Amino acid sequence: MPELPEVNTIKNQLNEVTPFVITSCTLSKVADSIVHTKMDKLRGKTILEVSRRGKMLDFILSDGRHLLSHLGMSGGYRISETKVTEKHTHIQFKGTHEGQEVFIAYVDPRRFGHMYLYNQEDAQKKLNELGIDLKSPDFTYDYFKKSLLKYPHRLLKVTLMDQSLFAGTGNYICSEICARGFVLPGRLVSSLKEREIKKLYTAIFTVIDGATETGGTTFAGGYADTTGSKGGGVQHLVVFYQKICQQCNKTEVVKTTLAQRGTYHCPKCQK
Ligand SMILES: [Zn+2]
C-alpha cells in the first residue's frame, strides 16, 4: 500500500508534466467505484500543480476546482507519451505539457482508491479531515506529543496510524517508527515516557526521509511509480519484512497482528 514516501514520489513525477492542459478524460466502465463525485470531461482545463496532504493527492485545476485522489491499496499513476493500455486503467487524461502530447492514467487493480472532484471549499473540508502532514514544517514535537496523548488508552500503533492526527503514516512506516524509536508498537500510549516520545518523533524523520530518497518502498510487487518502476526503499527497513533486526543485527524479528495489520518488532531492541 502506498504510504507517504510513495505518494510523494508520484506527486513529484506528476509535477514534471504540469501545467497539463487537458484535452480529454476517459473513464472505464467501473470507474464510478473510484470516483465518488460527478466527473466531467474537464476539457480545456489545466492541471496547474499536484499537491499532497498525507496520502491524498490534490490536482489543482485552473477553474478553481480540485481533483483529490487517494490511491487506496493498489492505485497508481502512469505518465506516458502514448495512450496507456495497461489493464485496470480506470481514468485517463489526454493532454499537453509544453506543447507535447502526454497521457496521465490512473491504474488500480483492486479499486480501493478514491477520487473526488470538488470546488475549493469542499476540497479544503476533505483535506482538513487529515491531520498535519509528516513532512510539513507544522509537524512539530509539540504537535506530535499533544496528538499522541489525545487518546492515552490506545495502543501506540493504533494512534500512529490515525490519519486525522498524523497524515501520511501507514502500516510499514508505523512498524519502522516504533523500531527506530525503540518502543513496542503494542504499548499503551499512557505508558510512554517523555524520552520515548522524543525518540519516536525523531524516528519519524529517519523513516520518512530514508524512504523518500529512494523513491518509495515496494513489497510483493505492490507499488510502482509513474514510470512503472519499483521503489528502492526496502533497503532502509530495520524490522518490516525482515527476518533479523537490522539495528542489533542478531535478534529474530517477531511478527504480530496489530490494528488488523501485520506488525513487526525486535523483542530485544524495543521495550
Ligand atoms: Zn534488534
Q: Taking the domains of the chain in order of start, what are their residue ranges?
A: 4-127, 133-265
Global pTM?
Answer: 0.90
What is the rounded distance in angstroms from the CA atom of residue 154 to the CA atom of residue 82?
A: 49
Residue 125 annotated in active site: no
User: How far away, in angstroms, is 251 Cα from ligand 1 center?
Assistant: 5
Pairing of strands 89-97, 254-258: unpaired
pLDDT reported for residue 221: 46
Residue 263, SS3?
strand
Catalytic pick among 198, 230, 261, 268: 261
Any idea what the Cα angle at residue 167 is, between residues 45 and 208, rounded to 5°? Answer: 105
Any idea what the Cα angle at residue 179 is, between residues 173 and 235, rounded to 5°? Answer: 60
Residue 261 annotated in active site: yes
pLDDT reported for residue 228: 66
User: How far away, in angstroms, is 178 Cα from ligand 1 center?
Assistant: 12
User: How far away, in angstroms, is 175 Cα from ligand 1 center?
Assistant: 13
Look at the domain 4-127 and name its fold. N-terminal domain of MutM-like DNA repair proteins (3.20.190)
The strand pairing partners of 51, in sequence order, are 58
User: How far away, in angstroms, is 180 Cα from ligand 1 center?
Assistant: 10
| Unique residue bearing C-alpha cell 483535506 | 127
Q: How many Cβ atoms from other residues are within 10 Å of residue 87's Cβ?
A: 6
Q: Choose the CATH number for 133-265 among 3.40.50.200, 3.20.20.140, 3.30.420.40, 1.10.8.50.
A: 1.10.8.50
- pLDDT per residue as tens, the chain (271 positions): 788 989 999 999 999 999 999 999 999 999 999 999 998 889 999 999 999 999 999 999 999 999 999 999 999 999 999 999 999 999 999 999 999 999 999 999 999 999 999 999 999 999 999 999 999 999 999 999 999 999 999 999 999 999 999 999 999 999 999 999 999 999 999 999 999 999 999 999 999 887 666 666 655 445 567 766 665 555 689 999 999 999 999 999 999 999 889 999 999 999 9
